[in-house]
Structure 1
Amino acid sequence: MAKEEGPNWDGLLKWSLSHSDGTRPTRQMSEEDRKWFAEAMQSQTVDVVKRLKEITQVMQTPQQVLEAHQVTSQDIQDLLDELQDHVESIDLANDLHSIGGLVPLLGYLEHSNAEIRAKSADVVSTMVENNPRSQQSVMECNGLESLLLNFTSDIDMHSRTQALGAISSLIRNNSSGIAGFRTANGYTGLRDALESDSVRFQRKALNLLHYLLQENDSDCDIAIELGFHGLLMRLVSSSDADVREAALRGLLDLTKDRKHCICGSTIKKEDNEKLRQILQERIEGISFMSPEDLSAAKEERELLDSLWIAFYNEPSFL
């Protein structure tokens, strides 16, 4: 399928350059120039909306019809790449639902091709990031449920990871999204992600866990009950620096203003001893680092020191 070109801005660029050579103040627009510029901008906006409608029409077309017209999976991925560029604009992201494009986009989360499932989740993530209106639209179209299914059950790790990224964007600063995530056993999905062998999946899960524990202190109990403290302790020894830092941050989240959750009867005594040993080993490992590595590990050192103080009421050896 030939990929149509997006808006051509050459005319606007030439016009802009003709009004400023970069060496002197820009002259005032005449009324005629102002009118021309407004009309040009309007025409380009209309062209983009038209293109969104064309992409929507393709997404609404049954798979067998697309295949009969020799539209490949790569063609669909290219189309989703273009759509993602468009919905980086909040206005265009919000327009997508009104022209009928959101529902078929969410339908692609169930596509037989894993790369298309992953890419559609990526587009949704771009749409809803810091965009309450699009967040609401996706929630109303049951997008959270579809993303959660891919996050927890997809056989393809890349698709699972992209679904988690979209969930993270969808539920941030979205109380109904957070409630839906919690009700749908989203924390169990996060626990499974931390148990996976994918570092990228672990990172995304840890970042979302940190956000959720910061937003809802009471979720500490859920995390402890599901055994997150044990997983976080294991990840403190990860070979990936970002995972180590995020795991330390997660443990600190579980101890702040609720130390009894970790140090009290909820956690076994042997777990406390194990944590002490893990932290001590990490502290000793850092003490042998070169000056350059020490500088790169600054945040990890600060997190280790904070945890040591929280648990043992004394500074660490760092």
Structure 2
Amino acid sequence: MSVEKTYRSDLKGVLKFLLEHTKNEDAKGSTCQEMDAEKKQFLASALNNMTTDVMKEFQRAISILEDQESTVANKVNALNVIREGIDDIDFANSFVKAGGSIYLVQNLTHTNCEIRSLTAYIIAEMSQNNPFCQQHFVDAKTIPVLINYLNESEELANSGIHAVSSLLQNFKPGLVEFLNVNGIQILLKCLDKNNSRLSVRVCFLIGKLAEQDNLRDELIEKLAITQLVKCLPVAIAEYDSRLETTLYALSELSKSNKWMIEESQEEKLKSLTTGIVENYAIEEEYEEIYRHSCAILRKLDTHANTR
């Protein structure tokens, strides 16, 4: 029986084929054998069919987004179809080249919150470690729109910070645009919100920004330390990702010579980090929390000695 008749030529079929092929080779004790011509042909054909099928789905979704008569429900379904396949860099780039990104940019200002949120998540996933899409969406002026999502509902804020983070990651033009729209100040204001998921992403982004010397000092001048310490609990009861990312951001800020902290906040921070260092040194789950706490304590001790 031929390979083509044995396996389906969709993603599940390809995965099953690869699994069976690997299992057979392992059973023979082989470390690396060249795939025979029939198997190569099947795999090439299946992958080509998968690509064709995805692009057809994208084209149908684009048609729905383009149609002025499409209902909100139809647009939501179309966006979900796009999101399912868009995390592949080649598919993301092809989607842009096919003209689909025009409708994403338009939908960022749609009246329906679900459409806006889904669109932001798609842009985030397309732009993740993808300079082509990062440049495309920065040029389309999406950052000023997305940064304002942080001032809106919880779901919009969560999708907005995800997209903004993707557009900034290792991409200087995105960072420049972010700074031009007062992104740091908007970011810091988010720490006042009772949104744990948003806080985790915001603190992580603050930490990444603080890895750069010039931005580290700017964050301190804009009272980032004060805002971050406010987010901290008085004591630690259990592992908390928000605590970890907040301490990460503070540990990066502690590398600055412009470190500034009020006395009451210093006492709170020192008490918390001392407790962590004394009680959680050997617990693997708290490894990063412990490491960040050590860095902060060193800074607090140095800062106290220079007064």
* Counterpart amino acid of residue 116 in structure 2: R
Match of 1:45 among 30, 35, 51: 51
Partner residue in 2 for 1:191: 188
1:121-163 CA deviation, whole Å, 9 max, x = no partner?
1111110101111111111222222212323x43x11111111
**Match of residue 230, structure 1, among 226, 229, 237:** 226
Task: Return the alpha-carbon distance in structure 1 between the equivalents of residues 221 and 274 of structure 2.
Answer: 31
Change (3 A) 1:254 1:17: closer
Which letter maps to 2:263? E
Give the secondary structure class of the aligned counterpart of 1:297. Answer: helix
Q: Quick check: 1:122–1:162 contact (8 Å CA) kept in 2? A: yes
Match of 1:276 among 259, 266, 289: 266
**Cα 1:85/1:275, change in 2 over 3 Å:** same
Identify unmatched segments of 5+ residues in structure 1: 1-6
Matching residue of 1:150: 149
Deviating more after overlay: 117-126 vs 271-280: 271-280
Matched residue type, 1:157: E
Secondary structure of the residue that 2:194 maps to in structure 1? Answer: coil
Q: What displacement does 1:36 show?
A: 5.4
Cα 1:98/1:230, change in 2 over 3 Å: same
Provide the residue aligned with 1:173 in structure 2: 170
> In 2, are the aligned partners of 1:279 and 1:304 still within 8 Å (CA)?
no
Compute the TM-score of the two structures, normalised by the length of structure 1: 0.79
Distance 2:183 2:223 in 1: 14
Closer, same or farther in 2 for the Cα pair 1:228/1:12, shift >3 Å? Answer: closer
Equivalent in the alignment of 1:306: 295
Q: 2-side partners of 1:302 and 1:182: how far apart? A: 30
What is the distance in 2 between the residues matched to 1:288 and 1:15?
A: 52
CA deviation profile, 1:157-178 (whole Å, cap 9, x unmatched):
1111111111101111110100
Residue type of the alignment partner of 1:312: D
Give the drift of 1:232. Answer: 1.4
Question: Cα gap change, 1:9/1:287 in structure 2, threshold over 3 Å: closer, same or farther?
Answer: closer
- Any conservation in 1 of the 2:57–2:81 contact (CA below 8 Å)? no
Aligned residue pairs total: 288
User: Which residue does the alignment assign to 2:36?
Assistant: 29
Aligned equivalents of 2:204, 2:253: Cα separation in 1: 14
Alpha-carbon distance, 1:100 to partner: 0.9
Q: For residues 285 and 14 of structure 1, do their structure 2 counterparts lie closer, same or farther at Cα, with a shift above 3 Å needed?
A: closer
> In the alignment, is residue 104 of structure 1 matched against residue 103 of structure 2?
yes
Distance 1:136 1:198 in 2: 30
Query: Cα offset for 1:219?
Result: 1.5
Partner residue, 1:57: 63
**Structure 1 residue 78: Cα displacement:** 3.2
Output the CA distance in 2 between the equivalents of 1:13 and 1:289.
Answer: 46
What are the within-5 Å matches in structure 2 for residues 113-152 of structure 1?
113-151=112-150
Q: CA deviation at 1:204?
A: 0.7
Percent of aligned pairs with the same residue? 22
Structure 1 position 61, deviation (Å): 1.4
Structure 2 residue aligned with 1:3: none
Does the CA-based 8 Å contact 2:108-2:119 persist in structure 1? yes
Structure 2: gaps (5+ residues)? 1-8
Calculate the TM-score normalised by the size of structure 2: 0.81
RMSD: 3.1
Q: 1:89: how far off?
A: 1.1
**What is residue 93 of structure 1 aligned with on the other side?**
92
User: What SS does structure 1 have at the residue aligned with 2:193?
Assistant: coil
Aligned partner letter, 1:243: R
Query: Contact 2:204–2:248 (CA<8 Å) still a contact in 1?
Result: no
User: 1:110 aligns to what SS in structure 2?
Assistant: coil
Q: Give secondary structure in 2 for the equivalent of 1:112.
A: coil
